[in-house]
Amino acid sequence: MSNLLETIELESAPQPTVAIIWMHGLGADANDFVPIVKELDLHDCPAIRFVFPNAPTMPVTINGGYVMRAWYDILGTDIAKREDEKGLRSSQAEIEKLIAREIARGIPANRIILAGFSQGCAMTLQTGLRYPEKLAGLLCLSGYVPLRDVVATERSVANQHTPIFLAHGRADPVIHIQRAEQSRDLLKEMGYPVAWHEYMMQHSVCQEEIDDIGNWLRSVLKA
């Protein structure tokens, strides 16, 4: 399988039967969430392959055209009104290639979790809601549903009942919690099983959240 995004991989044990594809945020890289793995309590989980991809590099408009790793362009401060649809769909296709590689390596779609922080969270929802096969879960941190006006018509019935972990910081100055609450409400209106978590933090990750992620992973992977 050619032209795949560069990735960092970690395995919690040999011969993994689960894969978690975890997307970083704007300007970060594949290393960003690697340290989280050792902090997760995975004692009841099967062997997991964590796949951390590098986003492509591109000029980011809101940062003065500075070239950085980004899943899509940020065109202005009102991310709901002006979205880089082309970039979102292009990165969706790249993530779908990574899913295909895991399937080719013997892990079925229903044992694959998509995860992401900020832009990576948006990509988790952009890809996961549209993916034509059942996924194990969507782990969504400090982000939002992109292209929300077309989700209802583009979503795949295959993931209607896929568990969604949606978390946000109450004091997030980058993506205000109201945007995440709107995404939560939209997902619930469409009938998705959303586990909502909010924390007293900014645009970051906290220990309470890491504990909750571990609990959620154990429950999803035991189901």
Q: Which of 32, 73, 84, 172 is catalytic?
A: 172
> Active site includes 172?
yes
Type of residue numbered 148: R
CA–CA separation, 22 vs 24, rounded Å?
Answer: 7
- Any bridge partners for residue 48, and if so which? 18
- Contact partners, residue 195, CB within 8 Å, separation at least 6: 163, 164, 165, 166, 216
Determine phi and psi for 161, rounding to 5 degrees: -110, 15
Question: Is residue 142 among the annotated active site residues?
Answer: no
118, 142, 168, 183: the catalytic one is 118
The one-letter amino acid at 91? S
Q: Which helix (H) or strand (E) holds 187?
A: helix 177-189
Q: Can you tell me the distance from the alpha carbon of 193 to that of 60, in angstroms, rounded to the nearest whole number?
A: 33
* Catalytic member of 24, 91, 168, 203: 203
Rounded (5°) CA angle 205-206-208? 130
Using DSSP, state whether 214 is helix, strand or coil: helix
183 among known catalytic residues: no
Residue 47 and residue 49: Cα distance in Å, rounded?
7
Tokens of 37: 């793995």
The residues annotated as belonging to the active site are: 118, 172, 203
